[in-house]
Chain A
Amino acid sequence: MQLSLASQNGQAAREPGLETSPLAIRGLTVSYGEKPAVFSVDMTVVPGQMTAIIGPNGAGKSTLLKAALGIVPPVSGRVQVFGRPLDHQRGRIAYVPQRASVDWDFPTRVIDVVMMGLYRELGLLGRIRGTHRQIASDCLDRVGMSEFADRQIGQLSGGQQQRVFLARALAQGADLYLLDEPFAGVDAATEKAIIGVLKALRAEGKTVVVVHHDLATVRDYFDNVFLINTRKVAEGSVAEAFTPDTLQSAYGGRLATAQIDQIARPA
């Protein structure tokens, strides 16, 4: 188990990982009001693998992701994406927000939402060509939603909405995918479809980071875990870092010992 308590408050290019990692976070502190939600966190995402960010409710999982993406401002700390500052690398990141974060009554169709993923390519006035339409419909196909292309987004089920968001991220053609609770409140078919797509991305060499809440599936789905409870508790491969000991540290009294043993023992 690694225990990194504080971090380097600044750049250190020599440090292993910072130059090559798809997402390297150093000394990140984020605070809503006077209580830090994330305190002095370091994270180094392993390229080409799938990483789960796990921790109890209110542990700062989503906040960590949002601060990494510049959606919420940090109090201190820095973020590098593929060795460069975030703003230079926007095109290489795709973000899938929590489903509840948008108004699904918005007047738009499924295919229009997927097309939003092509914005960086199209720009303000770039003409939408057949190739763009092809990309969008391919992405919808990959998440199994082709038949819904012309539906209004409010008419979809929760799982279908989540898949549309994933399709939009696919359309971005990124190298790093960040997903915030994609499996929350979705049906079994959707969960299966999403994890299938994510594993396919990994097979293409892409990096995937997922805020995840279901401890039971961590072993099946992910290569690495990042345990957080306000500060980092553990980081590493599932075998090293997803243990009864680290879970106890992250969850404390919130998980019974029996549960922890059951979850964390390799099958």
Chain B
Amino acid sequence: MGSEFVTLSLTPLLIGIFAAVACALPGNFLLLRKQALIGDAISHVALPGIVVAFLLTGAISTWPMMLGAAGAAVVAVVMIEAIRRLGRIEPGAAMGVVFTTLFAAGVLLLEQSDTSSVHLDVEHALYGNLESLIWLDGTGWGSLLDPQALAYLPVELPRMAATLVVVAGFIALFWRPLKIATFDESFARTIGMRTDLLGLALVITAAIAAVAAFDAVGSIIVIAMFICPPAAARMMTNRLELQIAWSVAFATLSAIIGYVLAGYGPLWIGMGDAVSAAGMIATISGVILAIAAMFGPCRGRAGAPSGV
């Protein structure tokens, strides 16, 4: 665990952890608002957003693409709301209509545009490429203090860290309104809270987390991290504050165990190559959820006696 770890594993591991936590934080509220699948929808519609950004700018550059993905997420959320209200359709079905359509449009655009020569394909979007985010200049723990080496950190690391700060900042700043509006929306409205704007802000925050993570680690982690760590945390406690803490712990744990298992697991059982870290992280988060669902102290619905 020396220089090789710093070079090959430190940065992907940190990026994985930051991405997992950034998604799990808003995931807690989405879960309680019965909007858990918004994360799923956002990560599907990021594809057309990225393709459109690519077609407009003609280059693979990060910021336009992230803007494109975020824009697509907002478009999707607006479309879902519009279809739900105008057509009086239940939210799940409205979501299904929108994200499948936008995803199909993304695939079509991708096929139409000649992007095969550049690094933009559906599989990358799904699995990401966590393993490749290595830090060549990080030759040992000492490099952490070496400005020259730090300058060559994979750009995803500071970007993901910044995203995490933004997401955590939003949750911390709006903690009280989020909690009140999630628990009792009509009460929140009577004390003058703009619950519609707050809900939109939450979804946009989730979209920011999803898009940043999407670029670095692929959509599959994003969907898993929005749901599995908060869901597992739900089984552990009856207090929102603690639930958030548990979800952060579970997200971190999934990222670490998943990354290590993907990298070293196959070697341990005598196979040659590593497997997808993104897929493994999602799998581990599912294992954690399964364990929590079977043994968590608060896994059952609180026995709210109805009536008298």
Query: Do the two chains touch directly in the complex (Cβ atoms below 8 Å apart)?
Result: yes
Q: How many A-B residue pairs have CB under 8 A?
A: 100
Task: Give the 5 A-B CB pairs with smallest separation, nearest first.
Answer: A154-B302, A152-B238, A90-B192, A95-B190, A104-B304
Given contacts A90-B191, A90-B192, A95-B187, contact A107 B243 (CB under 8 A): yes
Q: Is the CB of B190 within 8 A of A71?
A: yes
Chain B positions 238-258 with a Cβ under 8 Å from a chain A Cβ: 238-240, 242-243
Q: Please indicate which of the listed interface residues A66, A103, A120, A122 has the most CB atoms of chain B within 10 Å of its own CB.
A: A103
Q: Which of B179, B184, B308 makes the CB contact (< 8 A) with A102?
A: B184
Q: Give Cα A102–Cα B240 distance, bound, in whole angstroms.
A: 16
Residues of chain B at interface, number, CB under 8 A: 31
Q: Is B32 an interface residue (CB 8 A)?
A: yes
Q: Is B183 an interface residue (CB 8 A)?
A: yes
Q: Is A263 an interface residue (CB 8 A)?
A: no
**Neighbouring B residues of A157 by C-beta, 8 Å:** 305, 308
Q: Is the CB of B192 within 8 A of A124?
A: no
Given contacts A66-B186, A124-B174, contact A107 B237 (CB under 8 A): yes
Q: Give Cα A153–Cα B303 distance, bound, in whole angstroms.
A: 10
Q: Please indicate which of the listed interface residues A94, A153, A154 has the most CB atoms of chain B within 10 Å of its own CB.
A: A154
Q: Is the CB of B302 within 8 A of A104?
A: yes
Q: Is B234 an interface residue (CB 8 A)?
A: yes
> What are 29 A-B contacts with C-beta separation under 8 Å?
A71-B189, A71-B190, A87-B192, A93-B190, A95-B186, A97-B184, A97-B186, A97-B187, A104-B302, A106-B183, A106-B240, A107-B234, A108-B179, A108-B183, A116-B179, A116-B187, A119-B177, A119-B191, A124-B173, A124-B177, A152-B302, A154-B301, A155-B303, A157-B305, A157-B308, A158-B307, A158-B308, A172-B191, A185-B308
Q: Which residue of B lies closest to A102 (CB)?
A: B184
A40 CB, nearest partner CB in chain B, Å: 24
Q: Which of A90, A161, A185 makes the CB contact (< 8 A) with B190?
A: A90
B160 CB, nearest partner CB in chain A, Å: 26
Q: Which of A93, A103, A124, A154 makes the CB contact (< 8 A) with B303?
A: A154
Chain B positions 16-38 with a Cβ under 8 Å from a chain A Cβ: 32
Q: Give Cα A102–Cα B243 distance, bound, in whole angstroms.
A: 19
Q: Is A141 an interface residue (CB 8 A)?
A: no
B247 CB, nearest partner CB in chain A, Å: 11
Q: Give Cα A125–Cα B147 distance, bound, in whole angstroms.
A: 37
Q: Give Cα A108–Cα B191 distance, bound, in whole angstroms.
A: 20
**Neighbouring A residues of B174 by C-beta, 8 Å:** 124
Q: Is the CB of A107 within 8 A of B238?
A: yes
**Neighbouring A residues of B243 by C-beta, 8 Å:** 107
Chain B positions 176-228 with a Cβ under 8 Å from a chain A Cβ: 176-177, 179-180, 182-184, 186-187, 189-192
Q: Please indicate which of the listed interface residues B234, B302, B307 has the most CB atoms of chain A within 10 Å of its own CB.
A: B302
Q: Which residue of B lies closest to A151 (CB)?
A: B238
Q: Is the CB of A101 within 8 A of B192?
A: no
**Neighbouring A residues of B240 by C-beta, 8 Å:** 106-108, 112
Contact with B along A152-176 (1 / 0, CB 8 A): 1111111101000000100010000
